[in-house]
Structure 1
Amino acid sequence: MTGRIFVGVGGWSYAPWRGTFYPKGLAQRRELDHASRRLGSIEINATYYSSFKPATFAKWRAETPDGFVFAVKASRYCVNRRNLGEAADSIAKFFAQGLEQLGDRLGPINWQFRETQKFDAAEIEAFLRLLPRETGGLPLRHALEVRHPSFKDPAFYDLARRRGVAVVFADHADFPCIDEATADFAYARLMRTREDAETGYAPSALAGWAERARKWAARGDVFIYFIAGAKARNPAAAQALIERL
């Protein structure tokens, strides 16, 4: 069965989007409402830096329409550490915030490793064993965003596959680009939008991403985010890809 394809951006509060993606004069408190009705998903980046109250997650859910999904970036305290296998307390604290208040809007959790984090099979396996299968009765899907070339290793892919964890596909000049089917969903972060392209990526490139997205969807849901790069262009890139799909 073909999965659903969710396309979006990272975050929703960004000043250069006001007057372009957001209509001039739109109140900031209505930006999530606006964005969630034009995009299929948003990756919440603020959860990497800060913790939130359950009421905040419930508010975000209430402001978004049926069918919309958030990806959530895990706290930096879970992943920026000497030994990932010792992250149990930080992981528990991250989920204790009340992510379950997102309800059916809760999509994958992105565990973004530091660029200096190297692949160590025992350490990564210990970390993967700490990731919960559910929170508040909601099933969880996990994705690992690795940034060190040592992760381009079949041993890593096997570990991820055994735990049903996706490996984030990164379109970035410096990060490893890994396209491995290790889970029943795909997660991509496209980080090379350009200011000189009205839709961030050239039309031919967007056509290529649409084709790749359809191939990923053959094995399950797909989550694609335009992140970083020429950030002002990211909403236009996301909307252009949605049109092609």
Structure 2
Amino acid sequence: MGSIRVGVSGWSYDGWRGDFYPADLPRRRWLSYVAERMSSVELNGSFYSLQRPSTYQTIVDQTPDRFPVAVKGGRFVTHMKRLRDVDVPLANFFASGVLLLGDRLGPVLWQLPANLPFDEAVLASFLDLLPRDHQAAAALAARHDDKLAADRAVTTANTNGAIRHVLEPRHPSFGSPEALALLREHDVALVASDSPGDWPCFDEDTTDLRYVRLHGHTELYASGYAPASLDRWARRLRQWAGAGQDCFVYFDNDARGRAPHDAVALLDRL
């Protein structure tokens, strides 16, 4: 039987104050408030810039033991370099403090731009570079460049647990048999990305892990999920978990503050 983890993509949203967060709850306690009510969280600030080790240490301090924290890979790797020549950028990413999460580190998410089609050689080279456990990530992190000052780099691991990777492409060519075969060969999950028709929502099974991102079913990043829709996702998650797959689900419809409420509502159904 697989596990099911549900959370939100990010938690530092001022619009949630006085709605999901009590109005008098200090910002420094927002993450612990989320961790008390959900079973995982996705860090998305790491997509926009390299975080500091202090950010990851704060996450450790404010979450329970083995509370899985998915980490979103940097857009410099995915959107600017477009997966090419990313040895050093990957080293910088893993040296930025990710290793401090230890056993809390959940899947690492790599979101691709919608105008990036499947290229077998490029994707294969990228997947070959990804570290599959913490010691391998530490060895990679040690190759960081001077973009990270010595006091900002973490290049040692406190565990040797596995590191799982998931890919969120937004081009339909990633549903091809060749792309799916490559993901299966590298044991990488293909994200099911729900949106109002903006990107394909892949449903293919490429490993024993399922990763779902819910961006808003009728209005991107904004609309909430109706009870019937949450019921359908709950059924699918039970089916996947019943087949032995671990499931991670993150709500990204944060613009109007729906994400945390939908996450709690889905957890209630599970």
TM-score (structure 2 length as normaliser): 0.85
The structure with more strand, counted as a fraction of residues: 1
**Do 2:194 and 2:201's aligned partners in 1 also have CA atoms closer than 8 Å?**
yes
CA distance in 2, matches of 1:6, 1:203: 19
Q: Which residue identity does 1:29 align to in structure 2? A: R
Question: What is the aligned-residue RMSD (CA, Å)?
Answer: 1.7
**Do 1:74 and 1:111's aligned partners in 2 also have CA atoms closer than 8 Å?**
yes
Paired position in structure 2 for 1:206: 230
Q: Which residue identity does 2:123 align to in structure 1? A: I
2:178 to 151, 155, 173: 155
Paired position in structure 2 for 1:179: 203
Unaligned runs of 5+ in 2: 135-156
Deviation at 1:231, TM superposition (A): 4.2
**Do 1:38 and 1:239's aligned partners in 2 also have CA atoms closer than 8 Å?**
yes
TM-score (structure 1 length as normaliser): 0.93
Q: Which residue identity does 1:138 align to in structure 2? A: G
Deviation at 1:59, TM superposition (A): 1.8
Paired position in structure 2 for 1:50: 49
Judged with a 3 Å threshold, the aligned counterparts in structure 2 of structure 1 residues 83 and 110 are, in CA distance, closer, same or farther, namely: closer
Percent identity of equivalent pairs = 46
Aligned length, in residue pairs = 241
**Do 2:20 and 2:261's aligned partners in 1 also have CA atoms closer than 8 Å?**
yes
Paired position in structure 2 for 1:3: 2
Unaligned runs of 5+ in 1: none
Deviation at 1:100, TM superposition (A): 1.7
CA distance in 1, matches of 2:97, 2:192: 28
CA distance in 2, matches of 1:206, 1:72: 24
Judged with a 3 Å threshold, the aligned counterparts in structure 2 of structure 1 residues 142 and 108 are, in CA distance, closer, same or farther, namely: same
Q: How big is each residue's C-alpha offset from its partner over 1:196-230, in whole Å with a ceiling of 9 and x where there is no partner?
A: xxx92111111100001112212321000111365
